[in-house]
Homo-oligomer: A and B are copies of this chain.
């Protein structure tokens, strides 16, 4: 509390500060800004200044990436946050809630996979006609190029 009160004085943080606090390289932060994931204002000398809340945005980005979301998707989610004002609890809460369902899907997918694998270990198969693991393959066909890890079942991509 004491700490926050003190720090609140300097409401705007330079990129290096954001970088060291978030563990994200400055180059990545500029990249995120290019991509519209975060925003800054500039000083008279054209240097970026970020709001404290940007750290939260970045935390969100990182967490979302762990779940396997592409930056474009994350951007979509973050777009629902207000850019002008600091997001309220309600803003974050709404965001987190919709995002959580993604997470649930992802987990369910992996669990399904694990169960399939279990039954495959049991039967020693991965066998042609019967194995669920094997026959799931249809899903994967006809997706675009590029690294697509866990990018499955996302409509509109």
Question: Residues of A with Cβ closer than 8 Å to B?
Answer: 3-4, 22-24, 52, 55-56, 58-60, 62-63, 65-68, 88-90, 92-93, 96-97, 99-100, 103-104, 106-107, 109-111, 113-114, 116-118, 120-121, 123-129, 131, 133-134, 136-138, 140-142, 147-150, 152
Contact = CB atoms under 8 A, between A and B. Distances in A.
Contacts of A152: 66
A136 B131 CA distance: 38
Given A24-B140, A89-B125, 19 more contacts: A3-B129, A4-B129, A23-B141, A24-B137, A52-B128, A56-B128, A56-B134, A59-B133, A59-B134, A59-B137, A66-B152, A68-B150, A92-B125, A96-B121, A96-B126, A97-B121, A100-B121, A107-B110, A147-B147
Contacts of A128: 4, 52, 55-56
A129 to B, nearest CB: 7
Given A67-B110, A109-B66, A133-B63, A23 B96 contact: no
A126 B148 CA distance: 28
Contacts of A106: 110
A148 B117 CA distance: 24
Contacts of A134: 55-56, 59
A117 B137 contact: no
Main secondary structure of the interface of A (DSSP, over half): helix
A110 B64 CA distance: 10
Contacts of A67: 110, 113, 150
